[in-house]
Amino acid sequence: MAVRGAEPGVIWARPERAGRGPKPAFTRADIAAEAVRIADAEGLDAVSMRHVAAGLGCGTMSLYNYVPRKEDLYELMVDAVSAEHELWEPTGDWRADMMRVAGQTRELMRRHPWLPRLMSPVYGFSPHALRYLEHCLACLDPMDASYGTKFELIAMLNGVVTTYVRNEIDSAERVRNLPWSEEREQAVRLAYLGGQVASGVYPRLAEAFTQDAGPIDMEAVFRRVLERVLGGFASS
């Protein structure tokens, strides 16, 4: 009888293929690809064990031979798309390089809108994540700082990008999924907000809302915020 999930931790630690029984019908890559396909097409919530198994053309429980828990399936997915990170020869300008890294991460998340929800530093040690980390460190070679500081910078940058893109995506998705129209939703929200602000309890918010009427250039905000973060690290 199989060990059935008694093994600890990291899925990457166990060999993909055990020597003994009949040869597996799928690779981890197959499974990850199918899960990613589903998530891209129908959203993360559509990624269920049954659904993925059906997509692969096998029984639901067969999946558990490859993936001990659903969490591990998520980990496979994150690793799979992390492979899309394009790596390049560092230019020597670490700030520019890190900006480029951030931009790529952002593009990655836009291609796979479910990524931010799964991004957690706990998943930080998959093979492709290691490649990515090494690449970041290479870009940071010219930076005069300890590895500790560099890790802080990388974690920070990832965190900021994740948070930022998550906002973008979540609001967009929420608007798309709601049954009533976007205008109706926005009208209700604005009416409520206006009412609250008009109460006089929030004078600064009130002032800000009369002031900031124009639409905001998200692209510019993104770049500016990142520049600031990098600036914070450069000065030290």
Which residues contact DNA (rule: CB under 7 A)?
Answer: 1-5, 17-26, 46-51, 58-62, 64-66, 69-71
**Phi-psi sector, 200: left (phi>0), alpha (psi -120 to 50), beta:** left
Q: Which stretch binds a copy of itself (CB under 8 A): 16-24, 38-46, 105-113, 134-142?
A: 134-142
**CA distances for 11 relative to 16, 54, 69, 152, angstroms:** 9, 22, 10, 26
- Residue 203: CB atoms within 10 Å: 9
Q: Where are the alpha helices (DSSP H) in the chain?
A: 28-42, 49-56, 63-66, 70-82, 94-111, 115-118, 127-139, 147-177, 182-198, 203-211, 218-234
- Binding flag, residue 91, a copy of itself (CB under 8 A): no
Task: Tell me if 211 sits within 8 A of 127, measured CB to CB.
Answer: no
- Binding flag, residue 160, a copy of itself (CB under 8 A): yes
Shortest distance in whole angstroms from residue 217 CB to a copy of itself: 10
59 touches which of DNA, a copy of itself, none (CB within 5 to 8 A by kind)? Answer: DNA
Question: Among 3, 41, 201, 213, which residue sits at the site for a copy of itself (rule: CB under 8 A)?
Answer: 201
Q: Which stretch binds a copy of itself (CB under 8 A): 34-42, 44-52, 88-96, 135-143?
A: 135-143
60 touches which of a copy of itself, DNA, none (CB within 5 to 8 A by kind)? Answer: DNA
